[in-house]
């Protein structure tokens, strides 16, 4: 499956060697925890930024672990004798994990990076040499079909994915296989696709070296390798979403105009989902002159699906072009060539009347509701990963609110969600606050302004009294007509439920 223009890859058929290599790596503490202990936090963090000098300085000793770090993470040849006691060297040479270099030294043919799974699993992510960190890290690779390792986008998608047990999962554009690896922990059957056959080969290596079940690997773009009658309980994709002039780099450029690749991916996902199934993507989208970006995204949502779309960041077209020019290492190329490429990006945006580009998350859920829920919002503030349970809870709340009118809300029982704090805002010494804010310390970490009735209501929600009974008591305390209070408060209750500040108690 390898690309002949690039270095040969280890054999994906020698599962016996891969299993022995995994055992040897773990036996030498070549794991996420082992690396942190060896390198120290600063050097370990520097590796995530593709900076190797601190790790090189920290591995100047003669231990087996230091030799493995130099070999598989830092791409340094090491004397064969340094690793002969810990690795099955002959088998690794024969199967292609290692290659001979000058003298009696060996070198790795791929990058192997330890990765801690969500349950404490010891995993390994395989990628092309020098490409262990995905995303805009200035790898400077001139290869179009390079396969990157784990980056910020990869871990973000893994963190927001709903992790309920499912029968089938599909990873579109699998790359190094990180999403397929996560899915294998809770899906009976995993299918992974990629336009780049080299990526499929590396995904097979990632899964095998991590001790995970093999996936059904299929070559092709988007849903092309999937039969018309195949549907899934979970679809995930960290697609090549970069909006660029052309498709120069396979790992990031989708090859369609503007944001058409992301739009097509989202629109076609609805027909591939089983009832109640989730589709979750990272995406970029254009902010076009004279068009509401939220309306643009609402038009992407397929029929029969609820959607929650969160814009996390917006960059103007110059920032965006510079980010991805650096990603490809063009800032280190000939200045005239760099300027020409920069001009091409801006020409493309100008022709499409694009002012800026948004980045965020798109979550779909297949629903039989007559009136789908489509929430599009901007939330650039810090959140607490993982957010998979938060995403699932969002759609659960959508179902609850859709099934309960105002009268049903007043008859319902609620409790305050975990780790909610109340903040009172006003001038020092004032008798009453100007307003009250409820703030979450978990998940999305939202904050919402409430009036005194809303604050009092949330504060006594412990599931024992119905919402209507609580409002009657508040009305008596503040001297309001209970009928009028019951009439005007359900909208505030609905908002508190929708944003996760209170939750149904039964």
Confidence class of residue 249 from pLDDT cuts 50, 70 and 90? low
**54-65 residue pLDDT tens:** 999 999 999 999
**74-107 residue pLDDT tens:** 999 999 999 999 999 999 999 999 999 988 999 9
What values do phi and psi take at 425, rounded to 5? -115, 130
**Pairwise CA distance, residues 356 & 296, whole Å:** 14
pLDDT at 219: 98
Q: In what order do the strands lie in the sheet with 166-172?
A: 216-219, 187-194, 166-172, 232-237, 273-288, 354-366, 305-316, 374-378
**Which of 133-147, 154-168, 372-386 is least confident?**
133-147
Query: At residue 235, does pLDDT exceed 50?
Result: yes
Query: At residue 436, does pLDDT exceed 70?
Result: yes
Q: Tell me what the mean pLDDT of segment 331-343 comes to.
A: 89
Q: Tell me what the mean pLDDT of segment 384-410 comes to.
A: 97
CA angle 467, 469, 475 (to 5 degrees): 100
Query: At residue 252, does pLDDT exceed 80?
Result: no
**Pairwise CA distance, residues 490 & 96, whole Å:** 65
Confidence class of residue 4 from pLDDT cuts 50, 70 and 90? very low
pTM of the model: 0.94
Nearest to 237 by CA among 183, 171, 305, 182: 171
pLDDT at 246: 73
pLDDT at 254: 66
Q: In what order do the strands lie in the sheet with 435-440?
A: 420-425, 435-440, 447-450
Query: At residue 404, does pLDDT exceed 60?
Result: yes
Q: Tell me what the mean pLDDT of segment 400-414 comes to.
A: 97
**Other C-beta atoms within 10 Å of 379: how many?**
14
Confidence class of residue 2 from pLDDT cuts 50, 70 and 90? very low
**125-154 residue pLDDT tens:** 999 998 877 543 434 444 567 899 998 999
- 282: which residues sit within 8 A by CB, 6+ positions away? 153, 156, 157, 237, 238, 239, 241, 359, 360, 361, 362
**Pairwise CA distance, residues 421 & 452, whole Å:** 15
Task: For residue 292, count CB atoms less than 10 angstroms from its CB and return exposed for 0-12, middle for 13-18, buried for 19 or more.
Answer: exposed
The percent of residues in the chain predicted with pLDDT above 90, rounded, is 84
Query: At residue 182, does pLDDT exceed 80?
Result: yes
pLDDT at 434: 77
pLDDT at 134: 57
Q: What is the mean pLDDT of the chain?
A: 93
Confidence class of residue 286 from pLDDT cuts 50, 70 and 90? very high
Cβ-contact 320, 327 below 8 angstroms: no
121 three-state secondary structure: coil
pLDDT at 137: 43
Cβ-contact 193, 220 below 8 angstroms: yes
- 387: which residues sit within 8 A by CB, 6+ positions away? 159, 160, 443, 444
Question: To 10 degrees, the CA torsion angle through 68, 73, 75, 76?
Answer: -40
- 486: which residues sit within 8 A by CB, 6+ positions away? 410, 468, 471, 472
pLDDT at 3: 40
pLDDT at 258: 87
**Pairwise CA distance, residues 291 & 223, whole Å:** 29
Do β-strands 216-219 and 232-237 pair in parallel, antiparallel, or remain unpaired?
unpaired
Q: Tell me what the mean pLDDT of segment 418-429 comes to.
A: 88
**Pairwise CA distance, residues 384 & 392, whole Å:** 15
């Amino acid at each position: 499956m390898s690309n002949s223009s690039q270095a040969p890859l280890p054999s994906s058929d020698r599962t016996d060697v891969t299993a022995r290599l995994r055992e040897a790596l773990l036996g030498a503490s070549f794991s996420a925890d082992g690396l942190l202990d060896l390198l120290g936090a600063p050097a370990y963090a520097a590796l995530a930024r593709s900076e190797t000098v601190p790790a090189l300085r920290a591995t100047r000793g003669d231990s087996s672990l230091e030799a493995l770090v130099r070999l598989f993470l830092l791409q340094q040849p090491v004397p064969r004798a340094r690793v002969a006691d810990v690795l099955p060297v002959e088998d690794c040479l024969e199967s292609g994990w290692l290659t001979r270099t000058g003298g009696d030294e060996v070198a790795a043919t791929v990058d192997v990076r330890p990765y801690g799974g969500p349950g404490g699993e010891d995993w390994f992510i395989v990628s092309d040499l020098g490409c262990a960190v995905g995303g805009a890290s200035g790898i400077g690779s001139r290869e179009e079909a390079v396969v990157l390792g784990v980056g910020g986008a990869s871990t973000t998608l893994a963190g927001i994915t709903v992790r309920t047990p499912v029968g089938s999962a599909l990873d579109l554009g699998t790359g190094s296989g990180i999403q397929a690896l996560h899915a294998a922990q809770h899906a009976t059957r995993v299918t992974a696709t990629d336009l780049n056959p080299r990526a499929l080969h590396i995904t097979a290596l990632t899964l095998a070296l991590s001790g995970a079940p093999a996936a059904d690997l299929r070559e092709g773009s988007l849903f092309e390798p999937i039969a018309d009658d195949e549907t899934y309980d979970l679809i995930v994709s960290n697609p090549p979403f970069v909006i660029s002039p052309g498709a120069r780099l396979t790992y990031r450029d989708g090859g369609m105009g503007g944001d058409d690749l992301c739009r097509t991916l989202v629109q076609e996902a609805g027909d591939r989902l089983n009832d109640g199934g989730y589709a979750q993507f990272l995406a970029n989208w254009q902010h076009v002159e004279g068009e509401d970006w939220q309306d643009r995204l609402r038009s992407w949502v397929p029929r029969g699906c609820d959607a929650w779309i969160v814009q996390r960041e917006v960059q103007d077209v110059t920032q965006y072009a510079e980010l991805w020019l650096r990603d490809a290492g063009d800032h280190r190329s000939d200045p005239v060539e760099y300027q020409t490429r920069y001009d091409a990006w801006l020409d493309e945006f100008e022709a499409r009347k694009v002012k800026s580009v948004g980045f965020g998350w798109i979550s779909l859920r297949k629903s039989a509701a007559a009136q789908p829920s489509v929430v599009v919002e901007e939330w650039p503030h810090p959140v607490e990963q993982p957010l998979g349970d938060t995403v699932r809870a969002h759609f659960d709340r959508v179902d609850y609110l859709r099934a309960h009118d105002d009268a049903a809300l007043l008859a319902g029982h609620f409790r305050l969600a975990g780790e909610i704090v109340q903040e009172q805002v006003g001038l020092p010494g004032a008798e009453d606050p100007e307003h009250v804010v409820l703030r979450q310390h978990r998940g999305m970490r939202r904050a919402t302004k409430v009036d005194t009735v809303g604050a009092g209501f949330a504060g006594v929600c412990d599931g024992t009294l119905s919402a209507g009974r609580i409002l009657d008591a508040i009305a008596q305390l503040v001297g309001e007509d209970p009928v009028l209070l019951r009439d005007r408060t359900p909208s505030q209750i609905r908002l508190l439920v929708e944003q996760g500040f209170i939750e149904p108690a039964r």
